[in-house]
Copies of this chain bind each other. A is one copy, B any other.
């Protein structure tokens, strides 16, 4: 039978990351491509113990759960949020299958096909996909190292009457960028003025290289315990482990209730085993100390990658040193198409993500996202060497 597919799914590009992962399957590839956390740092034994504690509570632990998520876990996350200056109640929170699902649910409950979402430029690839899946119009706001440029935001607000602004203000993906306080406040002011919701996606905020640095979330800056215009989402995928697929969204209670209605139809609820395991983990494991270990390790790896790139003396290759997160965002010589470079790099068993995929409209093709968390030491050195060789060969050919 001949299947026809919905317009929304037809216009979904298969993710570049995904295509590359397929390309590299079965090969001894050094990959800077995926957004994979460091496996060797996963707290395996602590998770194992936590999972075992779940089973100790008996058969009820394996029954259907609440769509909103396991209540003790929501209470624990609320406590953690309070430490970051975010005062919320469990009723203002829903557990999702990774923060990715939170974005999808928010798009489904707040927006109609054709509605406009404003995003940073460039922005998180999978947010573009999820907005496309809901048939939304995604419009990029001119952005620099401090975040969205307020003048352009203001202009696009008036021009497009968007329903949502999607941002990753702390260690953005792909740029690693941190929004300045001024821009954060500016975004809040403009969104209040226009009555537009903000989706603050914060999967990386905990992965800060300077332990003493404070980057206040938009949610905490808005300071509305009832939930104002900011809907906040985060995840344990980077701080505990991705396999547990546990994220959350929080904010205005009515929005959370609507998300629960949508989630009930979409998948009833997320894995209860994962949620209960995380709840026991939070009770018995020093997660904050663990996060510090991860962040320190990632900081070292980022420094190592920077040093390796510098050693290669690559002409016209620049980047801004990230203060956290998992990615180095590299500008390559002008005119170079990073997708063509990738094909060359793959022959040297090195993979990365060409930057074009992260742009909602006209891409800057001479950009690349390098993940510095999954590889380390000699292997990272070998990978950067291969990357540099590919680049030099590629430039020589042009």
**A309 at interface, CB cutoff 8 A:** no
Interface string of A270-291 (1 = CB under 8 A from B): 1111101100000000000000
Copies of this protein in the complex = 2
CB distance from A244 to the nearest CB of B (A): 6
Chain B proximity of A179: nearest CB distance (Å):
21
Contacting residue for A126 out of B244, B255, B264, B271, CB 8 A = B264
A269 surroundings in chain B (CB, below 8 A)? 245
User: Any chain B CB within 8 A of the CB of A152?
Assistant: no
Interfacial chain B residues near A265, Cβ < 8 Å? 12, 100, 104, 126, 129-130, 132-133
Q: Does A150 contact B (CB under 8 A)?
A: no
Which B residue sits closest to A269, measured CB to CB? B245
- CB atoms of A261 and B62 under 8 A apart: no
Per-residue interface assignment for chain A, residues 376 to 389, with 1 indicating a CB less than 8 Å from any chain B CB and 0 otherwise: 00000000000000
Q: Which of A339-360 contact B (CB under 8 A)?
A: none
Identify which of A39-47, A139-147, A325-333 touches chain B. Answer: A39-47
* Majority secondary structure, A binding face: helix
Chain A residue total in the interface (Cβ 8 A)? 84
Smallest distance from the beta carbon of A16 to chain B beta carbons, Å? Answer: 12
A60 within 8 A of B: yes
> Is A273 within 8 A of B273, CB to CB?
yes
Quick check: A100 and B268 within 8 Å, CB to CB?
yes
Q: Which of B55, B242, B254, B255 contacts A62 (CB 8 A)?
A: B242
Q: Which among A2, A34, A109 has the highest number of chain B CB atoms within 10 Å?
A: A109
**Contact yes or no, B273 A277, CB < 8 A:** yes
Judging by beta carbons under 8 Å apart, are A109 and B44 in contact? no
Q: Identify the closest chain B residue to A43 (Cβ).
A: B62
Interface string of A28-59 (1 = CB under 8 A from B): 00000011110110101101100110010011
Mark contacts of A228-260 with chain B using CB atoms, 8 A cut-off: 1 yes-contact digit, 0 otherwise: 110000000100011111000000101100100
Docked Cα-Cα span, A109 to B37, in Å, equals 31
Q: A9-B261, A270-B271 are in contact. Are A3 and B255 (CB under 8 A)?
A: yes
> Complex formed: what's the CA distance from A61 to B195 in Å?
44
A270 vs B242: C-alpha distance when bound (angstroms): 10
Q: How far is the CA of A60 from the CA of B267 in the complex (A)?
A: 26
Q: Chain B residues near A319: list those with CB within 8 A.
A: none
- Select the stretch in A110-118, A165-173, A213-221, A361-369 that faces chain B: A110-118
A243→B264 contact, CB < 8 A? no
17 more CB-based (< 8 A) A-B contacts, given A6-B108, A45-B55, A267-B267: A3-B197, A3-B255, A4-B163, A8-B108, A18-B67, A39-B60, A40-B59, A42-B59, A48-B52, A48-B55, A51-B273, A52-B52, A61-B243, A64-B242, A100-B266, A133-B266, A273-B277
19 A-B pairs whose Cβ atoms sit less than 8 Å apart in the complex = A1-B195, A1-B197, A8-B108, A9-B108, A12-B265, A35-B64, A39-B59, A44-B58, A47-B62, A51-B51, A52-B52, A63-B243, A64-B242, A104-B265, A126-B264, A133-B262, A243-B272, A245-B271, A274-B274
Which residues of A are interface residues toward B (Cβ below 8 A)?
1-9, 12, 14-15, 18, 34-37, 39-40, 42, 44-45, 47-48, 51-52, 55, 58-65, 67, 96-98, 100-101, 104, 108-113, 126, 129-130, 132-133, 163, 192, 195, 197, 228-229, 237, 241-245, 252, 254-255, 258, 261-262, 264-274, 276-277
